[in-house]
Amino acid sequence: MGTRPRVFLQRPGLLPYAVLSQTSNRPDVLREVAQAIDLLPKQRQQASVAAVTGILAGLVLDNQTIRQVLRRELMKESVIYQEWREEAQQDEARSLVLRLLKRQIGTLPGEIESRLNALTLNQLEDLGEALLGFSTLGDLESWLENLAK
């Protein structure tokens, strides 16, 4: 490893950038970063730095190398990862509920779709169960009205 990545390895906040520095062997730099992350005193800090490191490493390294070096379970504990995971689950639930509703009752007005887009994950899950009993758009509208109460 050259001397340039060393600057990034000296401060926890700069660790994620080390793999982007000028070096001839980025996988080795990533391994050094992973070791430095393991030495950080707080689990939450380890998780956050590992998650950001994984994201930035994805710009210059393949997924397999990143997964081999960084502890995936540690990255999953980061606040960033948890937020992205929740957003992905919400997007998937919304997509499924919209498809099922369109199949069950037909085309949905834009106003209704907008209201559905504002639902939380728990509300989407509740709607997913409720929609099995819907046969008309009025059923969906009634469900949404009850939700607002």
3-state DSSP of the chain = CCCHHHHHHCCHHHHHHHHHCCCCCHHHHHHHHHHHHHCCCCHHHHHHHHHHHHHHHCCCCCHHHHHHHCCHHHHCCCHHHHHHHHHHHHHHHHHHHHHHHHHHHCCCCHHHHHHHHCCCHHHHHHHHHHHHHCCCHHHHHHHHHHHHC
Residue 58 sits at φ, ψ, to 5 deg, of -65, -15
Which segments of the chain have a pLDDT < 50? 1-3
- pLDDT at position 2 is 47
- pLDDT at position 146 is 92
Flag whether the pTM goes above 0.85.
no
